[in-house]
Chains A and B, each alone.
Chain A
Amino acid sequence: MMAYSQLLVTVLIIAIIYSLLAIGMNMHWGDTGLLNFAHAGFFAVGAYTSTVLTTPAATGLLGDRIVGLELPIVIGLVAATIVAALFGILIALPSLRLEGDYLAMVTLSAAEMIRLIITNEAWLTAGTQGIKDIPRPLAGAFPLSLGGFQMGYNLFYLGLTIAILIASYALFKRLSESPFGRVLHAIREDEDVPRALGKRTPVFKLKSFGLGAGIAGLAGALWAHFFFAINPTMFLPSLTFSVWAAVIIGGAGSYVGAIVGTSFIVGIRQLTRFLPNDIPLGSELPFLRLILIGAALIVVLYYRPQGLLGDKERIQAGQAMEGE
């Protein structure tokens, strides 16, 4: 019983960190209509930035990592957010005037490039060896005894990530509903219109990209500090596509939808772990899960284009136009 509740807490933490990714993606796609396929890259940049800043340099079998600053974790989290945001802006910069699908190709390639650099620049990232023993914030204080109740570390981390999720949700929703968000929505609908009305759309797109990439970086740092260890294979394009699936299934444009969609995806991925391995195809479960996610994505797009919580009326109003 204890083991299950521990597992549940871990699953929740994963769902929350992925929700942060989905929130960033929703700003890009749901609010601004930008096709970002570099999300796993921003996640990686955040994870590695915070890790390199908070761990000591280390020697390894395949090579020595000579950078490691042992700074406080708070600095790591803040730096992860900022550096990932800067990466987002940097990647968006050359492709701002491009049509949507070009941006998709550039960002997908850029994410792979980030992974290539992480894999090869071992002096900074330890390369394929990965980095271990990443410190956890306030780890020394737990388990904490609160009048008979023992609070374990995971529960504390769950609380921390929930607080960050709520703050991020509130922030992004506020942005989306502000005049700033209004310009983003106009870009999503038809970029020529805000331009004709004097809005400097490239600047707005850069800001959108930076904000969404920044929160993905923060998510990466939270991931690294919870799971102790990171390596380049954690940041494959399939992570980006899972986040996409979450945003689409939840309903593009809805921040609650982004969180619900993520919970759905993480649910499929994690809860099927409880199935016994001796059922038919039991050993293929990891692959079946991904097939299920792919199928869910297609089914939702067909039967419910607005996603689970998206605005049906808005999608239909948009289609009325397309039909002409």
Chain B
Amino acid sequence: MATFDPQFIWFGLVSGSLIALGALGLTLIFGILDFINIAYGEYMAFGAFVAFGLNTQANMPMVVAGIGGVLGAGVLAIALDKVVFEKFRNRSAIVLLVVSIGLSFILRNSIRIIWGSGTKRFDIPIEQAPTYFGISILPDQVAIIILSFGVLALTFVLLRKTDIGIAMRAASDDTDLAQIRGVNTERLVLYVWLVGGLIAGIAGVMLGIDSVLRPTMGFLTLIPIFAAVILGGIGDPVGAVVGGYAIGLLQELSVVVIPSEYKPLIGLLVLVVGLLTRPDGLFGEATR
């Protein structure tokens, strides 16, 4: 256990940003396709490793490599929909969930074969953290927070201002309804995979910048992401983001009351307490 340090809040914001991004992508996909994609963590890892390859093997600057990784995750999401998920479109949510388990096996181990199973780092300078107000703040972390705010803002503009985004929200409320009103559901599905995949890629690359890259990096982040999605109400983008920051902050601040080894416990705790008290999520409106 530790005594309170404002540093924890900073760490909480950083990991909250990552969780919020992941949760947003996962909840968007859930909203339209109505199943939990267990392979989502692998989309994140894939984006990170593509960026790693471009960065260290093709010697591209981190920014370029990062963009490449993000695009890679977007392409992967669409490709997997075309090759796999499309074939199971009319099957139950549980079947799709199990299919995504199979995919996560395939992806994680492909990453191991292509890039090796060890721990990797991006080729970026390790910097001395300057201290402001007693909080040491790395430029990378600032970038993560700003970037994630930017992506979140952009996503919400997309959801509220563009035709396709408004259709997405309509479909998320009721897939059949959208069909009746003449929205092309198949095209919508592609868009949601693209957006979800790109967001996964961004979250993955930033996770890699924040710490290290491992083939299991995405999978291990799934639990706090699940917790954030449920806390926010499954399928609710705003809720997922708020939930993500809440989980990130709670996790980092929890070290004041519990040993830091048990930080991941917060995810489970929030999951259980959240499910028992607010099965419809933070903002109450029943989404299912």
- Interface, chain A (partner B; CB < 8 A): 35, 94-95, 97-102, 104-106, 108-110, 112-113, 116, 119-120, 237-238, 241, 244-245, 248, 281, 284, 287-288, 290-291, 293-298, 301-302, 305, 322
Contacts and interface: CB of A to CB of B under 8 A. Distances in A.
B94 A295 contact: no
A295 B102 contact: yes
Given A106-B271, A291-B106, A241 B101 contact: yes
Contacts of A284: 112-113
Contacts of A288: 109, 113
B67 interface: no
Given A106-B275, A237-B219, A116 B264 contact: yes
Interface in B260-288: 261-262, 264-265, 267-268, 271-272, 275-276, 279, 288
Contacts of B104: 241, 294
Nearest to A103: B275
Contacts of B267: 109
19 contacts: A98-B275, A101-B35, A101-B93, A102-B230, A106-B272, A109-B268, A109-B271, A113-B265, A116-B262, A120-B259, A120-B261, A120-B262, A237-B219, A294-B103, A295-B106, A296-B102, A297-B102, A301-B88, A322-B92
A298 B113 contact: no
Contacts of A305: 91, 95
Contact of B226 (A109, A281, A298): A109
Contacts, number: 117
A301 B105 contact: no
Contacts of B94: 35, 100-101
A290 B93 CA distance: 23
Given A244-B98, A284-B113, A95 B261 contact: no
Interface in B190-232: 219, 222-223, 226-227, 230
B36 interface: yes
Interface residues of B, number: 44
Interface of B: 35-36, 84, 87-88, 91-95, 97-99, 101-106, 108-110, 112-113, 117, 219, 222-223, 226-227, 230, 259, 261-262, 264-265, 267-268, 271-272, 275-276, 279, 288
A305 B112 CA distance: 30
Which secondary structure dominates where chain A touches chain B? Answer: helix
A263 B279 CA distance: 39
B107 to A, nearest CB: 8
A298 B36 contact: no
A113 B95 CA distance: 26
B223 A101 contact: no
A287 B110 CA distance: 7
Contacts of B276: 94
Give the interface centre of B93, B95, B230, B275 by most chain A CB atoms within 10 Å.
B275
A101 B97 contact: yes
Contacts of A102: 230, 275, 279
A301 B230 contact: no
A293 B268 contact: no
A302 B99 CA distance: 9
Contact of A298 (B97, B103, B230): B103
Nearest to B229: A105
Contacts of B108: 290
Contacts of A113: 264-265, 268
A92 B279 CA distance: 16
Nearest to B261: A120
A120 B263 CA distance: 12
Given A101-B35, A109-B267, A245 B102 contact: yes
A301 B99 contact: yes
B268 A287 contact: no
Contact of B265 (A116, A237, A322): A116
A298 B272 contact: no
Contacts of B259: 120
Nearest to B265: A113
A293 B101 CA distance: 10
A144 to B, nearest CB: 42
Contacts of B271: 105-106, 109
Contact of B223 (A112, A245, A296): A112
B105 A244 contact: no
Contacts of B110: 287, 291
Given A116-B264, A116-B265, A302-B87, A109 B223 contact: yes
A322 B91 CA distance: 9
B112 A287 contact: yes
A95 B264 contact: no
A105 B95 contact: no
A27 to B, nearest CB: 16
Contacts of A112: 223, 264, 268
B106 A294 contact: yes
B251 to A, nearest CB: 13
Contacts of A97: 279
A298 B223 contact: no
A110 B268 CA distance: 7
Given A94-B272, A294-B101, A298-B84, 12 more contacts: A35-B94, A100-B94, A106-B271, A106-B272, A290-B109, A293-B105, A294-B105, A294-B109, A301-B88, A301-B98, A301-B102, A305-B95
